[in-house]
Structure formats: C-alpha cells, structure tokens
Amino acid sequence: MESFDAITTYVHLAEGPEVSVIPVTEDFWATIDTRTELHTGRLVTATSVDQDWDIWEMHPNGDELIVVTDGRVRLHLDDGDRTTEVTVEAPEFVVMPAGTWHTADSLGDARLLIVTWGGGTQHRPR
C-alpha cells in the first residue's frame, strides 16, 4: 500500500472495479483530450484555489461533484439561460449539472475535491 499527494496524483474510477492512479504532469490538462482511457468513468482530482480561474469549463456528458474541503470559493454558473453564482464553504459541496458552464473565484486559500465525468469536457476563456 502507498499513499499519494491528491494535488499531484489523480484517480480514475473506470467502468469496473479498478482504481487507476494517474500522475499529473505539467502537460496533463493540455493533453487530456488524447487520454481516451479517461473519457469513461469518473476522474477524481484535487486542486488548490488561491486565485480566480481564467477559464470556464463544461461537462456535457455527466454531472460534476465539487467538494470544498478547506476554505471557500464563489462558483459562477451559466446554463445558457441565465448566469448565477453560489458561495460554497468547507465542508459544503455542489453538484454541477451536465451542460452547465462554470468557473470559480478565490475567496482566500481553498481546496477542492472534484469528481468529473470527463468525456467531452469543453473550455472557453473567461
């Protein structure tokens, strides 16, 4: 058994009973579309939020779970009809519906645990 740093190592929960450990390299997000093994199942990531995100993201094929494990963040949601915001503080979480564009503002140092259905994820500048 081995322990891992959740910021530099992600977990892939595939369509079966296996759990895959995924080392996060500098090019991880730039090359994620080519990682077809991650397009099914769920990707579990952790991140620190100490500045506002510079992108919006959207997961068209599945909901996303965002758990604030420390601190608080303000999430902005755009479902195509309206834009709303919600402040989420540890130990709260939100379920981001599939097809909802979202971004985050830092409200001080925060840590997030995110569980994503990764296939088809899209990004746009903020």
pLDDT tens digits, one per residue of 17-26: 889 999 998 8
**Tokens at residue 26, please?**
């500098």
* Type of residue found at 77: L
Q: What is the pLDDT of residues 71-103, one digit of tens each?
A: 999 999 999 899 999 999 999 999 999 999 999
CA distance to 10, 18, 61, per residue, from 67 (Å): 15, 23, 20
Helices H, strands E: what count in the chain? 0, 11
Please tell me the distance from the alpha carbon of residue 70 to that of residue 73, in angstroms, as a whole number.
10
Instruction: Say if CB 63 and CB 96 are below 8 A apart.
Output: yes
Say whether pLDDT at 29 is over 90: no
pLDDT over 90 at 56, yes or no: yes
Higher pLDDT, 90 or 31: 90
More confident residue, 87 or 39: 87
